[in-house]
Structure 1
């Protein structure tokens, strides 16, 4: 697998289990990259949905992707604190075109006080049946929801106190 170059801009593509393109983030600055991990940042970036609709993100965000975890974490920096949107999905691959992963519908929203809400369980159940998610994927995703929630409770990885400050400062250094 290729490794994106730190300081470069990449696209992020999410797909659905059936292979169709779900969403594209046009530009994310790579802050750290190695064979297992990509940390990126974006602000007011163009997002294109599978139906062609577009929108612009509203705030700076730090993005965390890993090759061994079945989730990724988007940390949104807002005036009233850090909000986290966590997508349950396949580990990422990078192929020089984009960072890519399969979105498996389940999401966890984490608030600045570290309370959280599991989202889209109905969508997951519908797609699990209609797209034929294998049972092994269902088990992997449920284990990774548990792992993700442990990270939240333990303030691990992107949920740690210094993570966002460190990576947002790095992002700002590229913008100056």
Structure 2
């Protein structure tokens, strides 16, 4: 299987557990693409919601997707620092059409001072009942929340100092 090459444009699609599309991000530039990790960059791109709404992102962002972990991260570059939005979801897959993952509702927002807040626990509880999330998925996601918080505390992976800045510099090279 081939993976997206650096410099190529891809679409990112998130789905819900029931198989329905949730959200689509257009035109993310691949900065690194392997079977284990895809790192991308984008700026003011179009996002399409399943209900037909559309909006544009407000700032440049570096996205980190992992094929081994049940979370992905978006580092948003703002004037007052880097904010991270972390989605708890399935490891990514790539099928030549798009990078895809299942969004499992829980999110963690990380602030520039590395404090964080767990979000959408009520949405997770509701969808867990509505879509009948299996117990093993629930256990994986709970472990993944703990693992993600550990990464934040350790400043591991995309939370490492200069990670977002380094990849943003590479993203700017593709935009010239």
Q: Flag whether TM exceeds 0.5 (same fold).
A: yes
What is the aligned partner in structure 2 of residue 135 from structure 1? 135
Map 1:87-126; keep pairs closer than 5 Å.
Answer: 87-126=87-126
1:73 matched to 2:73: yes
Whole-angstrom distance in 1 between the partners of 2:74 and 2:106: 14
TM-score, L = length of structure 2? 0.99
Map 1:154-169; keep pairs closer than 5 Å.
Answer: 154-169=154-169
What is the aligned partner in structure 2 of residue 82 from structure 1? 82
Which 5+ residue runs of structure 1 have no aligned equivalent? none
Structure 1 residue 175: Cα displacement = 1.0
Map 1:140-151; keep pairs closer than 5 Å.
Answer: 140-151=140-151
Whole-angstrom distance in 2 between the partners of 1:175 and 1:62: 14
Which 5+ residue runs of structure 2 have no aligned equivalent? none
Q: SS of 2:58's equivalent?
A: coil
1:25-49 per-residue CA deviation (whole Å, 9 max, x = no partner) reads: 0110000011110000000000000
TM-score, L = length of structure 1? 0.99
Structure 1 residue 152: Cα displacement = 0.3
Q: SS of 2:117's equivalent?
A: strand
Structure 1 residue 121: Cα displacement = 0.1
Q: SS of 2:35's equivalent?
A: coil
Whole-angstrom distance in 1 between the partners of 2:65 and 2:9: 15
Count of matched residue pairs: 176
Structure 1 residue 2: Cα displacement = 3.2
Q: Which runs of 4+ in 1 moved over 3 A?
A: none
CA RMSD of aligned residues (A): 0.6
What is the aligned partner in structure 2 of residue 62 from structure 1? 62
Structure 1 residue 5: Cα displacement = 1.3
